[in-house]
Amino acid sequence: MQSYHGSFSHNNDGARYAIDFALSVGDTVCAAADGYVVGVIEGYEKGGNDSKWMDYANFINLYHPTKNVYTQYVHLKKNGSLVEVGDRVAAGQAIGISGATGWTSKPHLHFNVVRWIEGKRVSVPATFRQKTLISGSDFKRGGRHENLIRTKSF
């Protein structure tokens, strides 16, 4: 739906390299890499195509100590987390259920890799593994990339 430098909402330091994957409500969301659950919000039920909904998205945040980065999985279904803060997760493990909460025009997964730099959240590029490596910059609106296994690097 939207990739790097997307004009709708991926136009700031915190989301510049985020990718929005079109999903249906109820699809399974899996961890991109091994890590630890450091944030879960799952109590919201509504969303819409207006920035007033920005603070009402359900999400899961993972920390990946080997790369010192965090991944964000946003717009999940109400009560759609399959993990809790403190859980260790493996790459490919089911962690949540997709939804349409928060600021969104349609159901999708907002996926973002971030680092904390000088106290500020900064979005960074990711590389995904399919049969071959796929750079996040290769994702285009309307494109299809099925069976992504996990991120290889951040």
The residues carrying an active-site annotation are 108
* Phi-psi category of residue 66: left, alpha or beta, with phi > 0 → left and psi -120 to 50 → alpha: alpha
List of residues 6+ apart from 101 with CB closer than 8 A? 44, 45, 46, 47, 53, 56, 57, 58, 75, 76, 77, 78
